[in-house]
Chains A and B, each alone.
Chain A
Amino acid sequence: DVKVTQSSRYLVKRTGEKVFLECVQDMDHENMFWYRQDPGLGLRLIYFSYDVKMKEKGDIPEGYSVSREKKERFSLILESASTNQTSMYLCASSPQLAGTYEQYFGPGTRLTVT
């Protein structure tokens, strides 16, 4: 089974702190994604990556950056956390294999910024 793990299930940070959210997948997938999920807004794509050291902006990249130094790990960075970044953050991965486009999700990190 595909396994996507995220470093924390729950995280509480203060405004202005630099926050790192880590995601690791064990299925050698090329593509990795970061979403945030808010009630009534569904999933919104922050960034994605299709190869090591490659990244693409999603729909809401402002206030975030990402790092992918190894194929299995994709990190989301909040440079200076703000209260409007309080949310559920979901990481996902998928293979670059024709016909297999579904994404596999981690359990999520619920981040609270106070």
Chain B
Amino acid sequence: AQSVAQPEDQVNVAEGNPLTVKCTYSVSGNPYLFWYVQYPNRGLQFLLKYITGDNLVKGSYGFEAEFNKSQTSFHLKKPSALVSDSALYFCAVRDGRGSTLGRLYFGRGTQLTVWP
């Protein structure tokens, strides 16, 4: 079975500090991993993905994520948080063995609040 866990419902950080939003996953084969961001009353926007290659993946708006196979984690990071980063963040996974028809499995989301 495929699943994603986001252990923190909420993360609070001061502007200018580094931020981390945690994600762990479970798949049978090699994982394909994704991060999305959702601003209030909007759809989800794709931030970044890990398919293969370098464990550190860079994405939009200065975000990056580190794939750690031994810990089955894919934490989202940013060196210096902005107030405008405040949003709901979703991690998603799919099994790399699957065909291009495969679905994504989403975590429950983490609400990030960056205060001035």
Contacts and interface: CB of A to CB of B under 8 A. Distances in A.
Interface string B83-116: 0000000100010000011111011110000000
A90 B44 contact: yes
A52 to B, nearest CB: 14
A38 to B, nearest CB: 10
Contact of A105 (B9, B44, B49, B102): B44
Nearest to A101: B32
B42 A107 contact: yes
Nearest to B48: A102
Nearest to A10: B41
Given A90-B43, A102-B49, A107-B42, 18 more contacts: A4-B43, A30-B100, A40-B108, A41-B108, A42-B90, A43-B44, A50-B101, A90-B44, A98-B100, A101-B49, A101-B51, A101-B100, A103-B44, A104-B46, A105-B43, A105-B44, A105-B45, A108-B43
Contacts of A48: 103
A45 B94 CA distance: 14
Nearest to B106: A43
A102 B43 contact: no
Contacts of A92: 44
A80 interface: no
Q: Is the interface of A mostly helix, strand, loop or mixed?
A: loop
Q: Report the contact-size class of chain A (Cβ under 8 Å from the partner).
A: 20 to 34
Contacts of B46: 102-104
Interface string B45-73: 11001010000000000000000000000
B74 interface: no
Nearest to A90: B43
Interface in A74-102: 90, 92, 95-99, 101-102
Contacts of B25: none
A102 B72 CA distance: 20
A73 interface: no
A24 B12 CA distance: 36
B48 to A, nearest CB: 9
